[in-house]
């Protein structure tokens, strides 16, 4: 019975209270896009996005409810998410995007 319950929980993502969150960025000319934020210790190499045939880069994370700061790293250059509606100042004189879950 425990194995069946585990499979059900894995399929829904509900067992650990995490939500599936999609991040996407249109950057057809980019060679590499990464996602760095408070959820991965701001390590650009931790979360690489995959490019589809239309030039949209995507990744999906499972995150617990909360408020997360993040930015995209496109070919080594830190960029804002153009779809973000909320920002917070960062220690480098710029701003980080905010995603609330």
A 10 A CB-CB count for 63 gives 15
Residues 54, 70: Cα–Cα separation, whole Å:
24
16-50 residue pLDDT tens: 889 999 999 999 999 999 999 999 999 999 999 99
Structural domains of the chain, ranges and CATH numbers in brackets: 17-100 (2.60.40.10)
Residue matched to tokens 């993502």:
13
46-93 residue pLDDT tens: 999 999 999 999 999 999 999 999 999 999 999 999 999 999 999 999
What pLDDT is attached to residue 15? 59
């Amino acid at each position: 019975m425990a194995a069946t319950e585990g499979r059900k929980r894995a399929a829904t993502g509900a067992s650990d209270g995490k939500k599936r969150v999609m991040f996407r960025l249109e950057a057809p000319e980019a060679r590499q896009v990464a996602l760095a934020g408070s959820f991965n210790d701001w390590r650009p190499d931790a979360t690489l996005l995959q490019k589809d045939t239309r030039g949209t880069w995507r990744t999906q994370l499972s995150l617990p409810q909360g408020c997360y700061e993040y930015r995209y790293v496109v070919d080594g250059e830190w960029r804002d998410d153009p779809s973000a509606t909320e920002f917070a100042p960062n220690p480098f004189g710029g701003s980080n995007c905010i995603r609330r879950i």
